[in-house]
Amino acid sequence: MTVILLRHGVSTSNTARTLAGRSPGVDLTEHGADQARAVAERLGALPIQHIVHSPLLRCQRTIGPLADKLGLEPEYDDRLIEVDYGDWTGKPIADLLTEPLWKVVQRHASGAVFPAGEGLAQVQARAVAAVREHDRVFAERHGHDVLWVACTHGDVIKSVLADALGLHLDGFQRIVVEPASISVVRYTPHAPYVWRLNDTGSDLGALEAIRPQPRNDADANRSDTSGPVPGGELGGTPSADNGNAER
């Protein structure tokens, strides 16, 4: 099962340098709308079967062109919503830099709880649970591996990537996730593998290789060859570069 973690495009809050959080009505800028259309072009040829998104407007706008191109009906999941920044919501970033909690967020994220909001550890728990549950449900529904999109927010994506990388949440700020970037995680029965991180323009043809593969009860008992194997090769693919060299 493979999820494409898509961050929403540039929003009006991004350009205003404020912390949007869950503020209603935060839309994409004109550039963000262009990014959404570009995402549809980049991902439109892939065998994507589901799109799940944060309920906030900027994520709805980002996946709109892709959903139209693929003919899919997106579904939202509240667990993919932006961090509840509490009293920090809507404040200029420049003003927050002087807050004592800012350094905690940067250096000890697992202990950071926003005033009248939620903690980053809570964010990671709900987001990872959402992604893994959708993986399970889609696998059961289709009976084979599925490529799907989860459109959400920067800190949410970074927390999911930290989990996939086996990185402690305190180090999640080392991960960069730009607007309209994609990061790809392949979940196997034994471990997740990160295939792309903060990708804003490279060839995604390798993901076309993720085609429906029959699954049965014996799958869980077989040796897992869908991730890296000794020597740096990727199991389950004909070559180390997933066919990119040939393309």
Helix (H) or strand (E) holding 135: helix 120-142
| pLDDT at residue 146 is higher than 60 | yes
Looking at residue 152, its pLDDT comes to: 98
d(CA 236, CA 219): 13
d(CA 87, CA 103): 17
- What is each CA distance from 125 to 39, 53, 80, 173, 245, in whole angstroms? 27, 17, 11, 16, 38
Looking at residue 229, its pLDDT comes to: 40
Looking at residue 201, its pLDDT comes to: 82
Least confident segment among 19-23, 47-51, 131-135, 241-245: 241-245
Length of the chain: 247
91: how many CB neighbours lie within 10 A of its CB? 14
Looking at residue 245, its pLDDT comes to: 35
Highest mean pLDDT among 11-20, 208-217, 226-235: 11-20
Tell me which of 3 and 200 has the higher pLDDT. 3
Residue type, 153: H
The DSSP output letter for 109 is G
Q: Rounded mean pLDDT of 20-49?
A: 96
User: pTM here?
Assistant: 0.84
Looking at residue 224, its pLDDT comes to: 45
User: For the chain, what percent of residues have pLDDT higher than 70?
Assistant: 81
Burial class of residue 203 (count of CB atoms within 10 Å of its CB; 0-12, 13-18, 19+): exposed
For the chain, the 3-state helix, strand and coil shares in percent, each to the nearest 5, are: 40, 20, 40
Looking at residue 1, its pLDDT comes to: 87
d(CA 210, CA 237): 10
- What is each CA distance from 213 to 47, 139, 166, in whole angstroms? 13, 10, 27
Looking at residue 241, its pLDDT comes to: 38
- What is each CA distance from 147 to 43, 52, 135, 182, 232, in whole angstroms? 11, 12, 9, 13, 23
| pLDDT at residue 216 is higher than 60 | no
* Token pair belonging to 52: 């799940």
Looking at residue 39, its pLDDT comes to: 96
Burial class of residue 9 (count of CB atoms within 10 Å of its CB; 0-12, 13-18, 19+): buried
- What is each CA distance from 87 to 116, 122, 160, in whole angstroms? 6, 17, 24
Q: Rounded mean pLDDT of 47-61?
A: 97
| pLDDT at residue 155 is higher than 90 | yes
Segment 157-199, tens digit of pLDDT = 999 999 999 999 999 999 999 999 999 999 998 999 999 999 9
Q: Rounded mean pLDDT of 70-86?
A: 97
